[in-house]
Amino acid sequence: MPVIGFLSGSSPQERVAMMGGFRRGLGEAGYSEGQNVAIEFRGAQGQYDRLPALAAELVRREVAVMVAGDAPSVVVAKAATATIPIVFNMAADPIRLGIVSSLNRPGGNITGITLLAGPMPAKQFGLLHDLLPAAKTMAMLVNPNNRNAERDAATVEEAARAVGVRVLVTRAVAEADFDKVFATLVQEQAGALLVNSDIFFTSQRDRLIALTARHAIPAIFTWREFPVAGALMSYGPSLVDAYRQMGIYTGRILKGAKPADLPIVQPTKFEFIINLQTAKALGVTFSPGLLAIADEVIE
């Protein structure tokens, strides 16, 4: 029975829904866990420095395919093996990071899904501004260890200048940084917060949601899983569907397809999710226009 090695910067508990999508994709390709394929998960619990050792374990295990579920894992997986096929999911530009040579023909032993959408942080800022047009200062939280952080911050700052809004860029690399970040938001009277896409922030989902509630700061996130868990809103690609596509590609490789011949998949559908219960608790009101464009409204 072939073994799939799944490498992730977070824990299995954080990936339950997404792994369901991955298994569905495998099923579409003719594979069922425990029947004709096995999956071994290695998660770094948000501690990126653990990833090289976890990847080395999977290489020694001689897995048939290595699946990397986020950008830090992709970089480590590529460094760990040039022979084991790799299927990735990342919210970053794989060409810019040197992961693949082109989107149509990736080359080498790697292919996958990129959730990159250049204007997405600007769109997220636009949704916050539409919700709170009177806010003169808005904040953005980034992880400086993420290679996209400064570029995304610059994108948001440019969008904010166009409408006369100041952007306060804050940074966190560990959970201990969050209290200082939110103290700064309160001190600077930030009217809203944009949390940049990052696997560390995803692993700290409940903590971030609790802090935005405690300090009554309206916030937008990238992934649907945040408003489902109680955050105000999110805008971004569907992670579950991306994982389903990873499952399909993994199945095709198990059947003999070469990663170099499988083009990188890009998102075509973005989801805008609103949690009205949280909006009521925060005292904010969504206009009929914003409600009309939402893909899902949690009441």
Sequence letter at residue 85 = P
Confidence band, pLDDT 50/70/90 cuts, at residue 117: low
Tell me the sheet residues that pair with 221.
234
CATH topology of domain 3-116+239-268: Rossmann fold (3.40.50)
Burial (CB < 10 A; 0-12, 13-18, 19+), residue 116, is buried
- Give the CA count within 13 Å in the CB-facing half-sphere of 47: 7
Q: Cite the beta strand spans of 143-192 per DSSP E.
A: 166-171
Question: Taking Cα atoms as reference points, which of 48, 40, 103 lies closest to residue 79?
Answer: 48
61-87: pLDDT as tens digits = 999 999 998 888 999 999 999 999 999
Same fold: 3-116+239-268 with 120-237+271-298:
yes
pTM over 0.85: no
Q: Cite the beta strand spans of the chain per DSSP E.
A: 3-8, 38-43, 65-68, 86-90, 110-114, 137-142, 166-171, 193-195, 219-221, 233-237, 270-275, 296-298
Measured CA to CA, the distance from residue 88 to residue 75 in angstroms comes to: 10
Q: Give the burial string for 252-276 (b: 16+ CB within 10 Å, else e).
A: bbbeebebeebebbebeeebbbbbb
Tell me the sheet residues that pair with 32.
none
Extents of the domains making up the chain:
3-116+239-268, 120-237+271-298
pLDDT score recorded for residue 118: 60
213-250: pLDDT as tens digits = 999 999 999 999 999 999 999 999 888 889 999 999 99
Measured CA to CA, the distance from residue 217 to residue 220 in angstroms comes to: 10
Q: What CATH number belongs to 120-237+271-298?
A: 3.40.50.2300
Looking at the chain, the whole-number percentage of residues with pLDDT higher than 90 is: 79
